[in-house]
Structure 1
Amino acid sequence: MNIKDIAKLSGVGVSTVSRVLNNHPDVKKETRDKVLEVIKECNYVPNNSARILKSNNMKHIGVLVKGIFNPFFSEMLKIIETGINDIGYTMILHHYDTNSLGGNEGEVLISFIKEKRLQGVICLGGNFSKIEEERFEEIEIPIVLTSVDSHMKINTKLFSRVCIDNKKAAYEATKYLIEKGHEHIAIMLGDEFDAGVSNRRVMGYMEALDEYHIPINKDYIVMGGYDFEPAYESAKKLLTASPEITVLFAISDIMAIGAGKAMSDLGFTVGKEISLLGFDGLNIGKYYTPALTTIEQPGKQMAEDCIDLLVQLIEEKEANQNIILETRLIERKSVCNFKG
């Protein structure tokens, strides 16, 4: 007899049984009584020694990062690592690429937790909407997702999120471009497998176009692979095929810079003959010529909030939360008014 058997007999999730055993306050009395009755009937004795070892001796917090190269995550990681060290824990970092794993981020997360015997996990990036809810219920440690799609369908009581509203941010960005006089607006997404962030941002883009009665041209939606070179090649191909485009909205600053190089190589003067908008607010954008107009994500606050929330969850002082932070437009020189 183990905790999974108790959960099955009680008709609840494994995490609920765990909360009852640990005397969490966030369990309904009716549910608690039901679980305790099953425990009594089955003469179940919890493995207290294992739980004590888990709570007292393990001082590891995992950080699971999607993608090897992401400067936005790199800046956040510096803050997260410092925060983890400051509270007396050790950070265990793991990068992964779901394109080679069939997009199965959930299994990567579960394997990471089991192999490293973690007390908590922060996930940077990814799309966990495919993971079955029952699989999340097997996890007895707190999970905080950040820079992940803010509209996942699974039960958000099973984990916490610190994120932005990606659809709203992309909508506001596209609206800004339209109000600058642009109608032929292209958008560069990450990759075709990104059903989370890219999907929400393209939805915001299309919503703004629709609101202003601008037809959606599918040829204007391209992939840039979240890197300089594929963004460069994609932008070059796009602008050669559709020279009427007056602005490109890239959903990462790295792709924007790659696309800007393609614009220059094709003979366009960025910020005068053609416009370019990025997303993230990376420092590198200030040193691009012309300086990159971008949508800034509050990376520092996201990283600090992740650590603060995870500590509260580990110490059982707080329940799971869904924190949505605001973005802001940083207006520089790469977007100009379109005069027609």
Structure 2
Amino acid sequence: MIPTIRDVAREANVSIATVSRVLNGLTGYSDKTKQKVIKTIEDMGYHPNAIARYLNNRRTQTIGVMFPAVTNEFSSAVLQGIEEYALERGYSVLVCNTAVDGNRTMKYLQVLRERQIDGIIFASEVLKHEYKQMLDTMQVPIVLVSSKNEDPKVPFVKVDDRQASYDAVRYLIDKGHKDIAMIAGTPEDPIAGIPRLQGYKDALYDNGIPFRSSRVAYGDFHYDSGQAAMETLLEQERGVTAVFAASDEMAVGAMNAAMQLGIRVPEDLSVIGYDNIRLSRMIYPALTTVGQPLLQLGRDAVDKVITMIETGKIVPSLIVPHEIVERQTVKDLRT
């Protein structure tokens, strides 16, 4: 038989109210009583009923997380950080795969509304007007991760994509490269596509290197598109010594396309990626890349949304640091 809060109170010889206060982190009992209640809960295997908990404090202790693709390594790493920290704070996570084109977003927002979730983490997708209208009716805190929004009531957690891309290209320039191509993300994507391309252009300009549109090919941040983009670059451009890819998956696809044509990395062509997913260190040669603290992005997003849930106050946005992770795919032309 599944134990109830009444059973726990009887076994611990305290009131039901005391058990409830312990479960909800309230005061009004001694440490000895607290330890006795906790031990009784553990011994009996008691789990608070979610509906009863909601009726008690108007919270379900549940956070909705919306990702356009939960199967890629970037999303998996961020989601791991979200789940780990949410569980540490006593919250459950309901993950919604909205699909790359976001065509399931409105449906999932309705699902989260019906589930009475306490807050939402919205990842790697533009917060469109229709989404915002639905979220306004839900009246729950929203935090963006790896996305950005101009509404001060909707804080975000992300790296500075333009600066990170700038630093990647500057790294190649510092290694003696001047003929640098880019495999950029989706051209119209304001989250990662546009700012990463701008960082590439700015780094070239600041170092006296002319920008050539023929040295830019576009992908969708995934492996196959990186391979196809690399093939396009090799067809239309000669003399390129280095390629900056706006994601690690595209960088690995580019490396494979080059190697199939007998182009060696890094001896003939240097490659640098973006994200520092596990794949970047598992391949050979190991990929030099822009490192994002993916687990920390998830943890910081959860911290912000829980703070907003529990205090009712808006928290500031956060730009997290990035780094250049040096491995084996960039040749130093100065030596």
| TM-score normalised by the chain length of structure 2 | 0.77
2:267 to 265, 269, 272: 272
- Residue aligning to 1:335: 330
Pair 325,56 (structure 1): closer, same or farther in 2 beyond 3 Å = same
CA deviation profile, 1:46-100 (whole Å, cap 9, x unmatched)? xxxxxx7495352321010022432011012122112223333221111123536
Count of matched residue positions in the alignment of Structure 1 and Structure 2: 282
Any conservation in 1 of the 2:62–2:92 contact (CA below 8 Å)?
yes
Distance 1:75 1:98 in 2: 17
- Residue aligning to 1:155: 151
Distance 1:322 1:57 in 2: 24
Any conservation in 1 of the 2:73–2:278 contact (CA below 8 Å)?
no
Distance 1:322 1:65 in 2: 19
Q: Helix, strand or coil: the match of 1:182? A: coil
1:246 to 223, 227, 241: 241
Any conservation in 1 of the 2:59–2:117 contact (CA below 8 Å)?
no
Q: Helix, strand or coil: the match of 1:99? A: coil
Range with bigger deviation, 277-286 or 312-321: 312-321
Pair 54,65 (structure 1): closer, same or farther in 2 beyond 3 Å = farther
- Residue aligning to 1:70: 72
Distance 2:249 2:56 in 1: 40
1:139 Cα deviation from its structure 2 partner:
4.2
**AA in 2 matched with 1:114:** R
1:171 to 166, 170, 174: 166
Distance 2:237 2:204 in 1: 18
Distance 1:194 1:239 in 2: 24
Any conservation in 2 of the 1:54–1:119 contact (CA below 8 Å)?
no
Structure possessing the higher radius of gyration over alpha carbons? 2
1:275 Cα deviation from its structure 2 partner:
0.4
1:145 and 2:130 correspond: no
Any conservation in 1 of the 2:63–2:92 contact (CA below 8 Å)?
yes
Distance 2:161 2:231 in 1: 26
Q: Helix, strand or coil: the match of 1:67? A: coil
Q: Helix, strand or coil: the match of 1:175? A: helix
CA deviation profile, 1:185-230 (whole Å, cap 9, x unmatched)? 1111222342221111111111111111211111222222222122
1:255 Cα deviation from its structure 2 partner:
1.0
Distance 1:182 1:131 in 2: 45
1:84-99 to structure 2, matched below 5 A, reads 84-99=86-101
1:5-20 to structure 2, matched below 5 A, reads none
Any conservation in 2 of the 1:68–1:95 contact (CA below 8 Å)?
yes
1:257-336 to structure 2, matched below 5 A, reads 257-316=252-311, 318-336=313-331
- Residue aligning to 2:113: 114
- Residue aligning to 2:224: 229
Any conservation in 2 of the 1:99–1:193 contact (CA below 8 Å)?
no
Any conservation in 1 of the 2:70–2:76 contact (CA below 8 Å)?
no
CA deviation profile, 1:157-192 (whole Å, cap 9, x unmatched)? x21211111111111111111122222211112223
Q: Helix, strand or coil: the match of 1:313? A: helix
Any conservation in 1 of the 2:161–2:195 contact (CA below 8 Å)?
yes
Distance 1:267 1:68 in 2: 34
Any conservation in 1 of the 2:68–2:101 contact (CA below 8 Å)?
no
1:195 to 190, 193, 210: 190
Identity of aligned residues (%): 27
Gaps of 5+ in 2: 1-53
**AA in 2 matched with 1:84:** A
- Residue aligning to 1:82: 84
**AA in 1 matched with 2:81:** I
Pair 142,257 (structure 1): closer, same or farther in 2 beyond 3 Å = same
CA RMSD, Structure 1 to Structure 2 (Å): 2.5
Range with bigger deviation, 219-228 or 320-329: 219-228
